[in-house]
Amino acid sequence: MTDQATESVTTPLHLQGREAVIAAAAPEDWREEAPDYHLSHTVMPVERTTDHAPDSLEFIVEELVKVFEMEVSHKKDPATWVSLVAEHYRGRVNGGAWQDSAEFARIGSYNILIGDNPYYPGGETFESSHHIFHTAFPGGFFWEVLEVLAGPPTVTFKWRHWGRYTGEYQGHQPTGELIEMTGITIAKVSEDLRILELEHFYDNNKLLGPLAHGCPVAKTSE
């Protein structure tokens, strides 16, 4: 047996990386089709600010959260999300209301993670919220772990999100500038390192303010 085969047997799927989880998914798991992360493979190595060793806690946390983000964005049923314990999962932002896995699947992580903000229309569906940000960042919106401050079962880590504003946002024309924001997340995980809870702290005005050129946007009727 090869070392790679041995690793796949001994390492749980959710810790084998995003590409392994995509390859293992059934066709019916996807909202549309299996996602393509070629931009992450080409752009991230050049633009990221960290380079974690494969056996570091930072690397493990980053890979797990990337699997989580992929599953929330592209798999329609939380029961198929291997990165978390679906029946126990909950998440929130800046001390707001907790949302369970079913709500993440229904309205999407963009709506939940942004919440009520003067630079975001609100009332968006899962699909329309993804369209808004994929339009604004056609070259990708990337994410990296900067530092892990505390290890499991309660993992606290700093992160960075960034992308080039090269597409239109709610009628505002792109500037081409690099937009980035940083934050802190406290994650509770199970013994096998599946996610039970995510609590994020960050200023989303650092993202949305530049996109809207500092001008509040018209609210969408719910």
Q: pLDDT (tens digit, 9 = 90+) per residue, 192-205?
A: 999 999 999 999 99
1 pLDDT band, cuts 50/70/90, is very low
Q: Quick one: pLDDT at residue 5?
A: 47
Q: Is 148 exposed, middle or buried (0-12, 13-18, 19+ CB in 10 A)?
A: buried
Q: Does the pLDDT value for residue 161 go beyond 80? A: yes
Q: Quick check: 8 pLDDT over 70?
A: no
* pLDDT tens digits for range 93-118: 999 999 999 999 999 989 988 888 89
How many CA atoms within 13 Å lie on the side-chain side of 98?
8
Is pLDDT of 149 > 80? yes
**Residue 107 in tokens:** 């309205």
Give residue 90's pLDDT band: very low, low, confident or very high (50, 70, 90): very high
Average pLDDT over residues 37-44: 93
Average pLDDT over residues 124-134: 94
pTM for this predicted structure: 0.90
Question: What is the arithmetic mean of pLDDT over 147-164?
Answer: 97
Note the pLDDT of residue 113.
87
Average pLDDT value over all residues in the chain: 92
List strands edge to edge, sheet with 195-202. Answer: 99-100, 90-93, 195-202, 178-189, 154-164, 141-150
Q: Tell me what pLDDT residue 220 has.
A: 57
Q: CB 28: neighbour CB atoms within 10 A?
A: 8
